[in-house]
Amino acid sequence: MEQPQDSKFEESFLPMTSIGSGMGVSVLPDVYCYTDQIVNLVVVGTPYEFVLIDTGMPKSAEQIKDMIKERFGENAVPKAIILTHGHFDHVGSIVSILEDWEIPVYAHDDELPYLTGKKDYPPGDPNVDHGLVAKMSPMFPNHGIDISKHVHPLPSDGTVPHMNGWKWIHTPGHTPGHISLFREQDRTLIAGDAFVTVKQESLYKVITQTKEISGPPRYYTTDWDAAYESVKKLEALKPKVAVTGHGIPISGEELSKDLQYLVVHFDEIAKPESGRFVN
Ligand SMILES: [Zn+2]
Ligand SMILES: [Zn+2]
């Protein structure tokens, strides 16, 4: 009998975690990167006005709420949730979070079909890499969620609600409506999965959080030409610090050198040699 996706997911995936899970780092006084198992979520703002960027893995709602209470006090509630994209490891706990907190969610127009129950992502492609995470990826949940009551398109002028001074940037490729967030004033970038700082296909590297500039996670990326253009776009912003959807935050010369390297060697480093979305 076919098992429902969720139970498959619990059996096959939850044991996987990283040494950084449950830990957070203040990248800047108002930018906090928190690692939930294998994925990062970001809290941006002050106790009076802050947002949550992405919502981690499934079943992490309590942990995420505890983290926010610890950071901003018992009654702290984010003004909104901003989604870089809708993959399960970025929207995992959103339904439970929204049960407690009546707050709006913002995402790119092109991502809305996956957030309103209209479309599913293609299943992960195991053929993109020899790494174990890539091999496990077809078992990850790929179905879109339905948060129609809460989700709104991001403003078309590039501003981000409750994130003063920040702009959203369309960085498709990994998903159609993927976005990154950039604050010009101090050149801070929240990249989502447009590029990451860990080779996300490898279980060993994910667990140890070995730092290594990488393109978007391969098993899920459907449009490699767009993904390349998106990395170029982000490199051109000359960010000084970057928080990525997976891996450790990166800054300064290491960031600029690594990003340039990724642009120049994108085909070798980022793009899989074979796989469903390459040929
Ligand atoms: Zn993703
Ligand atoms: Zn991801």
Across the range 182-200, mean pLDDT stands at 97
Q: Quick check: 94 pLDDT over 90?
A: yes
- Write the pLDDT tens digit of every residue in 207-237: 888 899 999 999 999 999 999 999 999 999 9
CA distance 77 to 66: 11
Note the pLDDT of residue 15.
53
Any idea which ligand is nearest the CA of 86? 1
> How remote is the CA of residue 89 from the centroid of ligand 1, in Å?
7
pTM passes above 0.85: yes
Report which of residues 208 and 168 the model is more confident about. 168
What mean pLDDT, rounded, does the chain reach?
92
> How remote is the CA of residue 75 from the centroid of ligand 2, in Å?
29
> How remote is the CA of residue 250 from the centroid of ligand 2, in Å?
17
Q: Quick check: 51 pLDDT over 90?
A: yes
> How remote is the CA of residue 74 from the centroid of ligand 1, in Å?
31
Across the range 98-104, mean pLDDT stands at 96
> How remote is the CA of residue 50 from the centroid of ligand 2, in Å?
22
Note the pLDDT of residue 207.
87
> How remote is the CA of residue 217 from the centroid of ligand 2, in Å?
7
Residue 5 φ then ψ, to 5°: -50, -45
C-alpha separations of 208 from 12, 60, 106, 200 in Å: 19, 21, 32, 11
Note the pLDDT of residue 19.
82
CA distance 236 to 222: 23
> How remote is the CA of residue 35 from the centroid of ligand 2, in Å?
12
> How remote is the CA of residue 75 from the centroid of ligand 1, in Å?
31
Q: Quick check: 195 pLDDT over 60?
A: yes
Cβ count within 10 A of residue 68: 22
Across the range 67-71, mean pLDDT stands at 95
Note the pLDDT of residue 145.
93
Note the pLDDT of residue 4.
41
Residue 185 pLDDT class (50, 70, 90 cuts): very high
The residues pairing with 50 across neighbouring beta strands, listed in sequence order, are 45
- The residues placing their C-beta within 5 Å of ligand 1, an ion, are 87, 193
Note the pLDDT of residue 204.
85
> How remote is the CA of residue 7 from the centroid of ligand 1, in Å?
21
Note the pLDDT of residue 6.
43
Any idea which ligand is nearest the CA of 245? 2
> How remote is the CA of residue 201 from the centroid of ligand 2, in Å?
11
Residue 279 pLDDT class (50, 70, 90 cuts): low
> How remote is the CA of residue 201 from the centroid of ligand 1, in Å?
12
